[in-house]
Amino acid sequence: MKTICLIPGDGIGQEVIPAAAEVLQALKLDLTFVEAQAGFACFEKHGSALPEDSLALARRSDAVLFGATSSPSTIVAGYRSPILALRREFDLYANLRPVFSLPGSFSRPDIDLLIVRENTEGLYSGREYRDGDAAVAERVISRQGSERIVRIACEQAMARSKAGGKSPRLTIVHKANVLKLTDGLFRECALKVAAEFPEIQVNESLVDAAAMKLVKAPESLDVLVTTNLFGDILSDEASALVGGLGVAPSANVGKGSPVFEPVHGSAPDIAGQGIANPVGALLSSVMMLETLGFTEAAGRLRQAVLDTLATGLCTVDLGGKASTRQFTNAVINRLN
């Protein structure tokens, strides 16, 4: 028996996570669900965006399914983004963001890539300060942080190759031509670790060129590994190739309970309307089931989502008319 901690969060997190939970229940697995509060609404109500009891529930669970939370772009005293706190607290240093073609005219064909984003350092280290009329952010890159993220990227490349029969390829994405010390170290560590995997064909790309390549020739890419902010930006960009943020899943893995979350945010522009696309949350659930060892069920759920999309049913963001409810019901009907 495995315990899943659901953290819907804010905005459409409150719509897509309950939808995913219903679908997971329809799989009739040996799963128990607990729910924890987090996010901006939680902060306004309880004075903490990630209360101690939520953190404790997440820690005791085998996995966390996280929706999204709203983070203000200004400083709000006492507020700290719960997803950043969870990544830090559980040392979830790797963010795995697969991007693959989906059945529908909203998606380009022949894409099957994985962005491996470093999740704990870089420009997200929280080391920012004001110096009069200037402001400085410290971009921390460490040998340990770089080596472990590239190692997991190489392991992912090997596993994908084994599963899919294609030869493994790794693209190291950096900006070492300008950031000679920080990305210079990242690049040096990446090349060293990748050399331990002789089967993997390794190449490197400056981040700006990688952004172009993602649009121009995404079919040529397999696994990309990069630092925190570059990975954040490139993965949103890559999601647009196959339908956009509404379909993009992710896994945060490392030491503590793994956290699975759609890549999108709380989408305040559509929250409460019942039209949010649940596919990102459903495909994140697939990644969660795989990680928990429910391989057969993961395959069944993935196929049910793909088959539902293949009928032409989809939400507004993909050019369709289905509501969250209608799409979710269609997936559940396929599972039954």
- Closer to ligand NAI by Cβ: residue 272 or 312: 272
232 binds, among ligand NAI, Mg ion, none (CB under 5 to 8 A by kind): Mg ion
**Nearest in space to 262 (alpha carbons), one of 152, 98, 31, 100:** 98
Secondary structure (H, E, C), 49-77: CCCHHHHHHHHHCCEEEEEECCCCCCCCC
CB of residue 241 vs ligand NAI: minimum separation in angstroms? 15
Exactly one of 62, 112, 236, 307 is catalytic; which is it?
A: 236
Q: Is 239 helix (H, G, I), strand (E, B) or coil?
A: helix
- Closer to ligand NAI by Cβ: residue 221 or 271: 271
| Residue list 218-277, contact with ligand NAI (CB under 6 A) | 245-246, 261, 264-270, 276-277
Q: Is 135 within 8 Å of 181 (Cβ atoms)?
A: no
Going from the C-alpha of 25 to that of each of 15, 33, 249, 308, 324, the distances in angstroms are 16, 9, 19, 18, 17
Q: Does 236 qualify as catalytic in the annotation?
A: yes
- Closer to ligand NAI by Cβ: residue 106 or 186: 106
Going from the C-alpha of 128 to that of each of 134, 136, 204, 288, the distances in angstroms are 11, 6, 29, 34
Across 79-150, the runs of DSSP E, i.e. the strands, are 94-100, 112-118, 128-131, 134-137
Using CB under 5 A as the binding rule, whether residue 261 contacts Mg ion is answered as no
Q: Does 175 qualify as catalytic in the annotation?
A: yes
242 binds, among ligand NAI, Mg ion, none (CB under 5 to 8 A by kind): none
- What is the C-alpha R_g of the chain? 19
Largest CA distance in the chain: 62
Going from the C-alpha of 257 to that of each of 64, 140, 153, 252, 254, the distances in angstroms are 7, 24, 19, 9, 8
CB of residue 331 vs ligand NAI: minimum separation in angstroms? 14
Using CB under 5 A as the binding rule, whether residue 232 contacts Mg ion is answered as yes
Exactly one of 10, 175, 183, 317 is catalytic; which is it?
A: 175
Q: Which stretch binds Mg ion (CB under 5 A): 43-51, 127-135, 217-225, 230-238?
A: 230-238
- Closer to ligand NAI by Cβ: residue 133 or 269: 269
- Closer to ligand NAI by Cβ: residue 187 or 264: 264
CB of residue 266 vs ligand NAI: minimum separation in angstroms? 4
Using CB under 6 A as the binding rule, whether residue 18 contacts ligand NAI is answered as no
Exactly one of 124, 183, 222, 317 is catalytic; which is it?
A: 124
CB of residue 128 vs Mg ion: minimum separation in angstroms? 18
| Cα–Cα distance measured from residue 234 to residue 229, given in angstroms and rounded to the nearest whole number | 9
Going from the C-alpha of 5 to that of each of 77, 116, 203, 302, 306, the distances in angstroms are 27, 24, 38, 21, 25
Q: Does 124 qualify as catalytic in the annotation?
A: yes
Using CB under 6 A as the binding rule, whether residue 71 contacts ligand NAI is answered as yes
Q: Which stretch binds ligand NAI (CB under 6 A): 64-72, 104-112, 138-146, 299-307?
A: 64-72
Counting residues that bind Mg ion (by CB under 5 A) gives 1
Q: Which tokens hold the place of 246?
A: 């509404």
Q: Is 255 within 8 Å of 92 (Cβ atoms)?
A: yes
* Angle made by CA atoms 138, 79, 20, in degrees to the nearest 5: 100
Using CB under 6 A as the binding rule, whether residue 69 contacts ligand NAI is answered as yes
- Closer to Mg ion by Cβ: residue 121 or 232: 232
H or E, element range at 228: helix 228-239
Positions in the binding site for Mg ion (CB under 5 A): 232
Give the residue numbers marked as catalytic.
124, 175, 208, 232, 236
Binding site for ligand NAI (CB under 6 A): 12, 16, 68-71, 83, 245-246, 261, 264-270, 276-277, 280, 317
